[in-house]
Homo-oligomer: A and B are copies of this chain.
């Protein structure tokens, strides 16, 4: 599947500007001690993870699907998990992996991160017209996901590199990038205290 085939994937399509500026991003990156080595390691990670995206999503969806308090975020208007909604989000979730590793972190990237953040809050469910029964993804689980989304990726990185130090470097860059993502996606939850 190419990015342009993904329903609801509107990267670069004249989105509203994110309230998060590239200066805000720079301060976040310095808080994460982000380095040029991290950037290079994340690019290597992208090359390894790209061909494994479906397997990664299988794992993550298995995790979400086995926890009632998580899968509820995918409920449709009837209060039951919506297969169509799960599938639509899955395709974009996979593209998020690729974009995080491969795209330049510029204003266009920030604008799309903010679009994703809004879809977790103020526009929940509208992209896929599922009549979502939920009004938001709970902030607590968005934050808690830093751990599973970080920890589970290491074996996939190890599939593409037999150098433990290289896997460590890629995993560190991924951990930082996931933490950055959650920080960016938290903006609409608390615009006045973000």
Contact = CB atoms under 8 A, between A and B. Distances in A.
Given A70-B31, A147-B32, A189 B193 contact: yes
Given A27-B69, A69-B27, A172 B151 contact: yes
A150 to B, nearest CB: 8
A138 B70 contact: no
The number of times this chain is found in the oligomer is 2
A135 B33 CA distance: 25
A5 B47 CA distance: 53
Contacts of A30: 67, 69
A145 interface: yes
Contacts of A146: 146, 179
Contact of A140 (B28, B67, B121, B139): B28
B27 A194 contact: no
B139 A31 contact: no
B32 A148 contact: yes
A150 B186 CA distance: 20
A182 B27 contact: no
Interface string A44-84: 00000000000000000000000101100000000000000
A144 B32 contact: yes
Interface in A105-158: 121, 135-136, 138-141, 143-148, 150-151
